Structure formats: structure tokens, C-alpha cells
Structure 1
């Protein structure tokens, strides 16, 4: 995998294996087909915390491992070091992922750069993935040709996890931290906290730190004490 001269770090734990797919099997199949050699143009949107960045980084890891002779680029568009001109050379890559297009889509220069990249990759039969908070039809895009191109991509809205799937995710994330989070404890958290994933993962981080400091396991009494429940 060729790296761009930027301070962009991929999370090593961003893999398809530790992504709880829920009802998003079709999207996972589409991403896997790219790793297998298919070319595709995919636009993924959802609220924050539903796994957009995780999936693009997982794709980057898997694509690189399965296609060592090909190039893939991952660009988180919230990186302040990025500028539109950096997209000019990305046509040399076999697969390009632009993560968080809503961060830059309000600027005409960025719109033009993304439009040009789209056309170049399409002409060469390569792959482009873009993520955002909103569907293309809901975004304010001055360059209508770009809006038309984005709308022509395979558009997928990530479906949120149900409570059972969130429990499984919490237990997976706890296990990655070396914590044992029993099913009853995970269910207790879901019953008494906000159920959006960013909040739940933030709570898990807090419990992880508290557990290390107190050298105690994650039990319901300990969680009550830490979270003042």
C-alpha cells in the first residue's frame, strides 16, 4: 500500500472481522468484492458512530493484504493538512476512499477536485468510495455535475444496530481491551445509558480506565460506582 505524505494513521483494529454487520450484509459483500478484484463506485452515508470510517479502513487493510501489487489510498477529509490539489495524483491508485465528504463539500475547489477524480477513476475502470453524513441528494453542492455523479454511485445508508447487536459490539470492544464484559453487565449498560454507539464506546473507555486503576473486574456494582448510577 502506497502512503501519501500525510500524518494519516489507520487503526489496526479496523477490520471486517470485528465489525458487527447487523443488517448491512449487502454493503460488506460489495466491499469484499472490491478486495476480490471488482471495480465499483460506492457512496456510504450514516450518522456518526455507525462505522463509516471503520469500514473504509478495514477495506484499506484487506485490499492491501489481498492485492499487494495494487495501490489503495485512504483520505480522512477532516485532516487539516489535506487540500484539493492532493486529489490530482490519485488516479494512479486502483482504489480511492474519501472519508467524510461533508467536511469539504461546501467548497467549490473541493467539488471540482472530486468531480475530476471521479471522472478519471471511472475512465480507467478503478474504484472510488466516498462517505458522508448525508445522501448526495440531501447535500448542498454547487457543482451540479458532481451531484449527478455522486447520485449515480451505489448509494448505501448504513442501518443502525439493534440492542442485541450493540451488546455484541460492546463485548467485542471490551475483549479487544482485555476486559471481560459479561452479557448481564452489557445488558445493564444498554438499559441505563444512552444507546448511541459513540456514547456507549466512550463509557466503555471510562470503565476500562477505572478497571485498570482499581484493578477490579467489570461487575454491575463496580459500574454503578464508576458511573454514579
Structure 2
């Protein structure tokens, strides 16, 4: 399997994993989110060999991979032991949080179960960007615990102004709101690294894509 050109992690095609992982990750499957909108789950994952590796690898200057995969017993057992698999989109989330971290000028703490959750997670009865590793629930920033409305409002305002492409969960105690953490997500984004495997050979290409493949083959022959 290829190793990421930047991260010291192998990029794997979830559809090529053993059945016990495929049944949990459901790579490439179509699912419905909380609004009934059809989404496609991620297909490509980083393979994380150990907790030590997760602690050593930085997705951004101030964020280690381990911060995005911290879970408890509510996660499916194969996702609590190593190797673990996390959607490649986690690196997109880390880039956004790095901008936020640099702006607030202090540590940003993600809750346990607060970033990547597999579709089999006990909190995953409702499909959400957490299943794409593109969401983070932040419970503390520096010395500030985010369990009081004024504090939450202050940091939510910063996030909205700094990260206009991100969605910030409304503050409150009603369904769809949060009153003890700051939720930031970049939607149902997927990332396919350049070194990832291609689609199946029998996948039908659009005419323009077929022309590009043919042209590339002719160039190689020359």
C-alpha cells in the first residue's frame, strides 16, 4: 500500500479491507443524514499503526493525529485497537482548526468522541460529519471551559468570522444545539490523496476522461 507523500501513514482503500473493518466503516456506502439527504461515506483512510504513532504525527503544527481519534467504549471494538482507520478528510479539518488555534493563541482541546466516530459508534445513530472525520467538538480553549453561554458565544463568533466555510452549531439546549462545547465542522468533505488507489477498472469513464486516458497512453508510447 502506498505511503502518504506528506504524512508517514499508509493510505488504504476501505473497500479492500477485511470484512470486519468494512462492516464498521462502510466505505463508499450511501447513507442518509439527519435531514434525510443522501451522502456517500468516505472510501479512503489513513492507517494508524499505534497510539504512539498517533501521538507523534502532527496533522498541523498544533494538532496531533491522536486528538482526532480519542474514543471510549461507545466506539466499536475494532476501532479502539490498532491498526485504526481514519478518513483522509481529517487533515482538512486539522487545517481549519489550526487557523482557529493561531487566532485564539492558546490550546484547543477536543472532547473524547469529539472528532472521528465510525458509523458503528453508539453516538452514530444519526449520520453526521463526525463519520467523515470533518467535525470537532471543543470543550476547552486555554483555561476557558466552554460550558457557559458568554464564553461559548465569544469563541463561536471568532470561529464564524475566521472560518466562513465551516458550520458552527448554534448555542442552546434544544435538539441540534450545544451548550457545553463548540462544534465546528466542514461538512461532508472527503479527501482522496494523490497516492490513493484508483477506481475499479470497469468503472465507466466520461468521454472527456476517456480521452485524457487515451492521450496519456499515447504520450507514454512516444
- The structure in which a higher percent of residues are helix is 1
Higher relative contact order (CA 8 A, sep 6+): 1
Specify which structure has the higher proportion of strand: 2
